[in-house]
Amino acid sequence: MSMQREAALYAEVVRRNPGEPEFHQAAHEVIHSLRPVLDARPELAEARLVERICEPERQLIFRVPWVDDSGVVRVNRGFRIEFNSALGPYKGGLRFHPSVNLGIVKFLGFEQIFKNALTGLGIGGGKGGSDFDPRGRSDAEVMRFCQSFMTELYRHLGAQTDVPAGDIGVGTREIGYLFGQYRRITNRWEAGVLTGKGLGWGGSAGRPQATGYGAVLFAAEMLRRRGEDLHGQQVLVSGSGNVAVHAAEKAIALGANVVTCSDSGGYVFDEKGLDVELLRQVKEVERGRVADYAERRGASAHYVPDGSVWDVPGEVALPCATQNELTEADARNLVGNGVKAVSEGANMPTTPEAMRLLREAGVAFGPGKAANAGGVATSALEMRQNAGRDPWSFERVERELEAIMRGIHDECAATAERYGAPDDYVLGANVAGFERVADAMLAQGVI
């Protein structure tokens, strides 16, 4: 594929999707990576597979009215992007956050296509959410919002059609309210229609841990390929939500020293290493801030308001907060401090400039569509358990997750080598995911 053809493909994406910079960024990265596979397999270009894969199969936008505890009517906007179902039912989380808009959801859904393909578990790509902010809202308000949201969305869902899960702002509480309303409306106990459910009513052991654990396992595989492991390495984690907490937990279990966490107010550097149980209590139970963690942790924890965790020296970086959090300046700091590996726990947390700098410096870089695929992989395992009404033990789920993450790493590495770019996990992930989806689309005709 010539540079002119690549530029034309990207220009068409921008023209058809104005004002959606996050989606443009995600599409540009993938299109740029596909040049070698399209040169080697011209039949994919002739069938316009790139153009087709960049266009969602269905885009849903809807009004979500609800009543707060004061009796005031509120109105939010709901989204569901059903991007690609060539490999299976649409699968991807729901995000409740004020920043959610069409471009954000589209970027997340686009990434989900390739991430889900890499798992090899027969799931398509989708994503959804709302600009509703659950922070500071009572359980009753969250319930009423979720019930209104599902009242519109339910008609588009089904275990063989579209299976949402959680994401930022959507945990077991929200999934419970959503599932209850789905069951109420449809009169069906269709456990496989939502994942991330509670253990007592169809959920999977290991699902809350899976995304964070998976990012650490991917980092460990990248280091293993270089003859190293995580034991004794100083690890930097950004964020303090579900992914960050469990990434820290898994890294510590593998012998690493995790020294940072963060939220929108600033970051904590803990010289003794993070106390994960205290962090979990502050963030998940009390819904507090990392500043509260630092205050209760004592002298070893230093809270830095408005700072960046990437200013702290470390050998392994796990960005687990949000998109574009790790900038070029941050990457320069990391490289200067001797970072060896970056494994993305969040979706697209590294800017293109930062990614380029890290890769040029020889840092092992695991892109989110590969490194954080553990969450959706375990969601697919939850669907399997639901279909067979056969709950698995935590140990079995963890074994499956380890095998899946090892398989994703090895496929990305092998694909990169096959196309002449050894250790380029970005190219490997994009091309391997694309080939799986493109082959299925080619086999199924122009639809």
Determine if residue 112 is labeled as part of a ligand binding site.
Answer: yes
Does the pLDDT value for residue 192 go beyond 80? yes
DSSP letter for each residue of 194-205: S-S--GGGT--T
Among 432, 445, 439, 447, CA closest to 118:
432
Q: Is 91 assigned a ligand-binding role in the annotation?
A: yes
The mean per-residue pLDDT over the stretch 2-9 comes to 89
Cβ contacts of residue 62 below 8 Å, gap of 6+? Answer: 77, 78, 79, 152, 153
Residue 307 has pLDDT above 90, yes or no: no
Residue 165 has pLDDT above 90, yes or no: yes
Instruction: Report whether 297 contacts 281 (CB < 8 A).
Output: no
Domains of the chain listed by start with CATH number = 3-189 (3.40.50.10860), 209-366 (3.40.50.720)
Report the share of the chain in percent with pLDDT over 90: 97
CA dihedral 404, 408, 409, 414 (to 10 degrees): 130
The Cα–Cα gap between 268 and 75 comes to 36
The residue written with tokens 């700091």 in the block is: 333
CA distance linking residue 348 with residue 26, whole number of Å: 8
211 among annotated binding-site residues? yes
Closest by Cα among 29, 356, 345, 37 to 212: 345
166 is in an annotated binding site: yes
Residue 209: both structure tokens together: 């841990």
CA distances from 274 to 255, 270, 298 (A): 13, 6, 12
Residue 349's pLDDT band, with cuts at 50, 70 and 90, is very high
Structure confidence by residue, pLDDT tens digits, 79-134: 999 999 999 999 999 999 999 999 999 999 999 999 999 999 999 999 999 999 99
Q: What pLDDT is stored for residue 306 in this prediction?
A: 86
3-state secondary structure of 104: helix
Q: How far apart are CA 198 and CA 173, in angstroms?
A: 8
What pLDDT, on the 0 to 100 scale, is given for residue 33?
A: 94
b (16+ CB within 10 A) / e for 405-425: beebbebbbebbeebebebbb
Is 340 assigned to a binding site? no
In this predicted model, what pLDDT tens digit does every residue of 237-283 receive, in sequence order? 999 999 999 999 999 999 999 999 999 999 999 999 999 999 999 99
Query: Rounded to whole angstroms, what are the CA distances from 231 to 156, 216, 224?
Result: 46, 12, 11
| Strand 266-270 to 301-305 pairing | antiparallel
pLDDT of residue 287: 86
From residue 308, alpha-carbon distances to 157, 232, 329, 367 in Å are: 40, 23, 10, 20
Nearest to 119 by CA among 382, 401, 419: 401
- Tell whether residue 119 is among the known ligand binding residues: no
The Cβ of residue 42 has, within 10 Å, a number of other Cβ atoms equal to 10
Active site residues: 127
Residue partners of 366: CB distance under 8 A and separation at least 6: 215, 218, 219, 222, 341, 342, 343, 344, 409, 425
Residues, the chain = 447
Coil, helix or strand for 423?
A: coil
Report d(CA 174, CA 150) in Å as an integer.
11
Q: How many CB atoms lie within 10 A of CB 225?
A: 13
